[in-house]
Amino acid sequence: MDIRITSFGHGPAPAGAHITLDLRHFRDPHVHLGLSALTARDRRVIRAVKRTPGVEQLLAATVAQAQAYARGPGAGAHPLHIAVGCADGRHRAGVTAYLLARRLRRRGHQVALHHRDLHCPVVERAAT
């Protein structure tokens, strides 16, 4: 199955997504671990997001959901679109989208990954 994954942060969620993940609930490495100047392409950010409680379970559940879509009667008619968002799109969303794409490719899906807001400037926020 063809799958399109878009990570985002600033502005509205991508229109037309079949599955949308909102990662604002999860710990933000930008604030809590001092990684604000880095992005989802940095190993330290990837490691921090992977170790965030709940992210592993969310990835597994989303892979299972995508697999269910792939088995449905509309599979192959058009790409499945998964949107992955957080507050700024530079850390949690980018890493989670990358990890999700990797897992889905391993299961034989054709995956196009687009980071909409990875390049956006850092938005400073206080830890909560």
Across 82-106, average pLDDT:
95
Q: For residue range 51-84, list pLDDT tens digits in order.
A: 999 999 999 999 999 999 999 887 778 899 999 9
In whole angstroms, what is the distance from residue 105 CA to residue 118 CA? 21
Helix count and strand count (H, E) for the chain = 4, 4
Q: Is the pLDDT of residue 112 over 70?
A: yes
Is the CB of residue 29 less than 8 Å from the CB of residue 45? yes
Q: What is the pTM of this model?
A: 0.89
Give the total residue count for the chain. Answer: 128
Please write the tens of the pLDDT for every residue from 5-46: 999 998 899 999 999 999 999 988 777 667 888 888 999 999
Residue 110 CA: distances (Å) to CA of 11, 38, 62, 65, 126: 27, 28, 16, 16, 39
Rounded to the nearest 5°, which phi and psi values hold at 13? -65, 150
